[in-house]
């Protein structure tokens, strides 16, 4: 006897029962009867697995069982729609997926089956939060989501993965992949702010906003601090927290594309990040009542994704790729450092990703790349300090400047260890 069959049936039974348990719980707590419960779903999972197992003896068994099952689902939906005021197709669709989960278990795709079952369980269980979130979505946010899907799953697969141009700097697929990656980080942070921002304080929300654009947030709050000079520490806290997020964002970007570079660059990034966090804690304990009012400004941040900024980043990333490779070829490490310095005036992501790619392709030394990224982050921090001095209130600017000078000093000291 093949005991693997019992494993297949057991997995189908357990996964289907979990989904059925959720349906049963909802029906009992909300006091209404819909399609299926713990027993029905358990049997559906078993039916899918048995159909697939028996299909090895006859290719017609699974199609016949599937046809009969689908007819049963359609009949249940039609009859249930007349009897229940809460008519919907959620349970019926979940039953179909559970049937497929049973088939996957019979094929011994246990990881896929478990993943699908958990996804179904989450969608069913988080009904209210999902509906509430859908109500809050704005038209612009929906359009941004559609645009992101287009650039990630339509444009990217169509691009050739080949290098062109001098120094082979132009690879359409890699460049657009970087665009998708950066947009994805910013978009995910924006969604996180909208989901959990209402329940979190300015520190957490401001940190997420820093993952979107710490420079934009600094520019916004510098102007606001000039208008509201009676408020000091809340603005200081918000700017420091958002700016500190940049160092951790760099670590995330490097970790995805080059673990070798991560082993070196984490030293300056963590050193500067921890310094920023220390100042944030200090001003958090010295916070004023107005600190939570600033959270409304952060929560009102616009969707970071649209097609034109994505195209601009692609063009800037191409420029940084070319300049860094040209600088390496003509001036050596000094050329790379010069490129990273000027890159930091505008963007840190481009130089970070270009260095990570260069290290992964063995086109630049790890220490050189780590130094270049550190220089770019230090330059960008200096720019934000300048923004505060130019546009912010005097008290706010001086406190932010003190924190940033310490961050830069720590970053400068770490350069001796790279």
Q: In whole angstroms, give the CA distance from residue 336 to residue 364.
A: 10
DSSP secondary structure string, 53-98?
A: HHTTT-TTHHHHHHHHHHHHHHHHHHHHHHH-TT--SHHHHHHHHH
Model pLDDT, residue 288: 60
* Cα–Cα distance list, 98 to 27, 34, 43, 86, 123 (Å): 18, 16, 10, 22, 13
Q: Rounded CA gap, 141 and 136, in Å? A: 10
Could you tell me which of 417, 350, 357, 345 has the C-alpha nearest to residue 381? 345
Alpha carbon distance 274, 291 (integer Å): 22
pLDDT given at position 294: 61
Reported pTM: 0.71
Q: Which residues contact 234 (CB under 8 A, 6 or more apart)?
A: 202, 287, 288, 290, 291, 293, 294
- Taking the CB of residue 211, how many other CB atoms lie within 10 A of it? 21
| Residue 123 C-beta-side C-alpha neighbours within 13 Å | 11
Is 117:41 a contact under the CB 8 Å cutoff? no
Euclidean distance between CA atoms 301 and 217, whole angstroms = 9
SS3 345: coil
Residue 138 CA to its chain's centroid (Å): 20
Q: If we measure between CA atoms, which residue out of 111, 112, 105 comes closest to residue 51?
A: 105
The reported pLDDT for the residue numbered 297 is 60
Question: Which residues lie closer than 8 Å to 418 by C-beta, 6 or more apart?
Answer: 264, 267, 268, 367, 370, 371, 374
Percentages of the chain per state (helix, strand, coil), in multiples of 5:
85, 0, 15
List per-residue pLDDT tens for the chain, 418 residues long: 567 888 899 999 999 999 988 888 887 887 767 777 888 899 999 999 999 988 888 888 888 988 988 888 888 777 765 555 555 678 888 889 999 999 999 999 999 999 999 999 888 888 777 777 677 777 777 887 888 888 888 888 999 988 888 877 888 998 899 888 888 888 887 777 776 655 555 667 778 777 887 887 888 778 878 877 777 877 888 889 989 999 999 999 999 999 999 999 999 999 999 999 999 888 887 766 555 556 566 656 666 666 777 788 888 888 888 888 888 888 888 999 999 999 999 889 999 999 998 898 888 899 999 999 999 999 999 999 999 999 888 988 999 999 999 999 999 999 887 7
Separation of alpha carbons 36 and 173, rounded Å? 47
Long-range contacts of 70-77 (CB under 8 A, 24+ apart): 70/96, 73/35, 76/35, 77/35
Kindly tell me the burial class for residue 371, based on how many C-beta atoms sit within 10 Å of its own C-beta (0-12, 13-18, 19 or more): buried
Structure tokens at 204: 């957490």
User: Which burial class, exposed, middle or buried, applies to 47 when counting CB atoms under 10 A from its CB (0-12, 13-18, 19+)?
Assistant: buried
Residue 7, helix vs strand vs coil: helix
């Amino acid at each position: 006897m093949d005991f693997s069959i019992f494993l297949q049936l057991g997995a189908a039974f357990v996964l289907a029962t979990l989904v059925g348990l959720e349906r049963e719980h909802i029906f009992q707590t909300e006091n209404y009867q819909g399609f299926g419960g713990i027993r029905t779903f358990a049997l559906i999972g078993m039916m899918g697995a048995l159909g697939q197992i028996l299909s090895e003896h006859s290719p017609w068994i699974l199609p016949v069982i599937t046809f009969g099952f689908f007819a049963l689902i359609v009949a249940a939906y039609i009859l249930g729609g007349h009897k229940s005021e809460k008519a919907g197709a959620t349970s019926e669709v979940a039953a179909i997926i559970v049937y497929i989960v049973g088939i996957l278990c019979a094929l011994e795709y246990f990881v896929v089956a478990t993943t699908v079952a958990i996804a179904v369980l989450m969608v069913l269980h988080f009904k209210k939060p999902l509906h509430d979130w859908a109500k809050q979505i704005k038209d612009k946010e929906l359009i941004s989501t559609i645009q992101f899907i287009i650039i990630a799953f339509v444009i990217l697969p169509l691009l050739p993965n080949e290098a062109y141009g001098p120094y082979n700097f132009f690879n359409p697929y890699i460049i657009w992949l970087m665009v998708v990656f950066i947009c994805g980080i910013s978009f995910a942070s924006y969604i996180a702010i909208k989901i959990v921002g209402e329940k979190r304080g300015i520190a957490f929300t401001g940190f997420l906003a820093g993952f979107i654009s710490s420079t934009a947030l600094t520019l916004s709050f510098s102007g606001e601090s000039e208008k509201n000079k009676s408020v000091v520490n809340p603005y200081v806290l918000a700017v420091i927290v958002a700016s500190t997020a940049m160092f951790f964002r760099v670590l995330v970007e490097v970790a995805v594309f080059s673990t070798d570079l991560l082993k070196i660059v984490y030293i300056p990034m963590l050193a500067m990040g921890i310094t920023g966090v220390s100042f944030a804690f200090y001003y958090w304990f010295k916070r004023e009542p107005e600190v939570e009012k600033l959270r409304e400004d952060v929560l009102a941040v616009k969707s970071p994704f649209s097609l034109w900024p994505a195209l601009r980043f692609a063009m800037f990333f191409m420029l940084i790729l070319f300049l860094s490779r040209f600088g390496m070829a003509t001036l050596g490490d000094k050329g790379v450092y010069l490129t990273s310095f000027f890159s930091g005036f505008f963007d840190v992501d481009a130089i970070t990703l270009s260095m990570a790619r260069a290290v992964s392709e063995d086109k630049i030394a790890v220490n050189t790349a780590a130094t270049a990224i550190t220089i770019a982050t230090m330059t960008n921090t200096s720019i934000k300090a300048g923004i505060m001095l130019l546009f912010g209130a005097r008290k706010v600017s001086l406190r932010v400047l003190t924190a940033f000078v310490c961050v830069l000093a720590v970053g400068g000291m770490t350069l001796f260890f790279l």
